A and B are shown apart, each in its own frame.
Chain A
Amino acid sequence: AAGVIQSPRHLIKEKRETATLKCYPIPRHDTVYWYQQGPGQDPQFLISFYEKMQSDKGSIPDRFSAQQFSDYHSELNMSSLELGDSALYFCASSLDRTEAFFGQGTRLTVV
């Protein structure tokens, strides 16, 4: 079965650079979630979209923004990167806001 696809899987950026992470949800899923997981920490909710509209916001820094496009894929844009932004970033999708299925994540390293 098709799963949530995230790209890239690994990304290395320097401080103050910009990064864009992409998420392709399971076909026909209408909700996308973004999570950040720092080393040794639990996943932290960042933001979610339902039917291409932002539906909920968690602890997402102002330097980050996200959107969901007409084809339902989503992008997380991160600017002025800091060393503390180094983390695993997970995207998840769900149908009709029920159980969420997660992708394999993007490992972002800021140097």
Chain B
Amino acid sequence: DAKTTQPTSMDCAEGRAANLPCNHSTISGNEYVYWYRQIHSQGPQYIIHGLKNNETNEMASLIITEDRKSSTLILPHATLRDTAVYYCIVRVAPINNFNKFYFGSGTKLNVKP
């Protein structure tokens, strides 16, 4: 699976959009970008994933650059409850036996009042 690079930490004001970047310059054509977050020792929570098109769900939007070497997770209106470590994970399509997610270091997002 491709390696990802994320900033160690970011701050965001409550109510503002939080934009979390991720670099995955070695991504292959069949690898998806997944985002998870972990709120203080709770189980990681799935947020969103995509292959090459931008994706949006009730939690967030995922913007993937045209060359797919980087992506941005957008939380449109951050709240204090969004304070967490956000992980960007690149994973091959679930064929054969590629049944694992590798967590990198993640970005600690601090949402401040």
A and B bind: yes
List residues of A whose CB falls within 8 A of some B CB: 4, 31, 33, 35, 42-45, 48-50, 55-56, 58, 88, 90, 92, 94, 96-105
| Residues of B with C-beta under 8 A to A33 | 99-101
Known: A4-B43, A99-B34. A56 touches B99 (CB 8 A): yes
Does the CB pair A105–B42 fall under 8 Å?
Answer: yes
Given A42-B87, A97-B98; 11 other pairs, CB 8 A cutoff: A33-B100, A42-B103, A42-B106, A48-B100, A55-B97, A58-B100, A94-B94, A96-B94, A102-B46, A104-B43, A105-B43
| Residues of A with C-beta under 8 A to B99 | 31, 33, 48-50, 55-56, 97
Whether B9 sits at the interface, judged by CB under 8 Å, is no
Does the CB pair A102–B94 fall under 8 Å?
Answer: no
Dominant secondary structure of chain B at its interface with chain A? loop
In the docked arrangement, what's the CA distance between A76 and B16, Å?
42
Q: Which residue from chain B places its CB closest to the CB of A42 in the assembled complex?
A: B103
| Residues of B with C-beta under 8 A to A105 | 41-43
In chain B between 28 and 73, which residues have their CB closer than 8 angstroms to a CB of chain A?
34, 38, 41-46, 49
Whether B7 sits at the interface, judged by CB under 8 Å, is no
Whether B25 sits at the interface, judged by CB under 8 Å, is no
Interface flags, B69-113, vs A, CB<8A=1, else 0: 000000000000000000100000011011111111110000000
Does the CB pair B97–A99 fall under 8 Å?
Answer: no
| Residues of B with C-beta under 8 A to A103 | 43
| Residues of A with C-beta under 8 A to B49 | 99
In the docked arrangement, what's the CA distance between A43 and B103, Å?
6
Known: A100-B46, A102-B45, A105-B43. A45 touches B100 (CB 8 A): yes
In the docked arrangement, what's the CA distance between A58 and B87, Å?
19
| Residues of B with C-beta under 8 A to A96 | 94
| Residues of B with C-beta under 8 A to A88 | 41
Q: Which residue from chain A places its CB closest to the CB of B49 in the assembled complex?
A: A99
Q: Which residue from chain B places its CB closest to the CB of A45 in the assembled complex?
A: B100
B87: shortest Cβ distance to chain A, in Å?
Answer: 7
In the docked arrangement, what's the CA distance between A101 and B34, Å?
12
In the docked arrangement, what's the CA distance between A50 and B99, Å?
8
